A and B are shown apart, each in its own frame.
Chain A
Amino acid sequence: MKETIIYFFTDSVAFKVLIGITIISATSGIVGTFSFLRKKTLVGDAIAHSLFPGICLGFIFSGTKDPFYLMSGALITGWLSVWLIDVLTAKSKLSSDTSIAFVSTFFFAIGSVLLSFISSSTNGNQSGLKDFLFGKAATMSNEDINVFVFLSLIILLIVILFFKYFQLISFNKEFAKSIGIKVNLIEFLLSTITVLTVAIGIQSVGVVLTSALLIAPAATARYWTNNLPKMLFYSALIGVLSGVLGVFISSTKENMPTGPWIVFILFFFTLMTLLFSSNRGWFSMVRKQRINRKKMAEENVLKVFYQLAELGIKNVTYSEFLNKRQMDTKELTNTIASLIKKGFINNDFQFFKLSEKGEVEAARIVRFHRLWELYLTKRLNFKEDHIHGTAETIEHLITPEIEKELLKELKFPKSDPHNKIIPY
Chain B
Amino acid sequence: MFAHTNPSAVEPAAVQSLGIDCGYGGEPLIKDLSFSVKRGEIFFVIGGSGCGKSTLLRHLIGLNRPTRGDVRFFGRSFLDADAAHRREFLKTFGVLYQGGALWSSLTLMENICLPLEEYTTLNSSERQELAAFKLSQVGLAGYEGYFPSEISGGMKKRAGLARALALDPAIVFFDEPSAGLDPITSRKLDELILQIRDLLGTTCVVVSHELDSIFGIADRVLMLDKQARGQIALGDPRALALGSEDPRVREFLGRNARPGENGFDSV
Do A and B actually bind?
A: no
Taking beta carbons and an 8 Å cutoff, which residues of A are in contact with B?
none
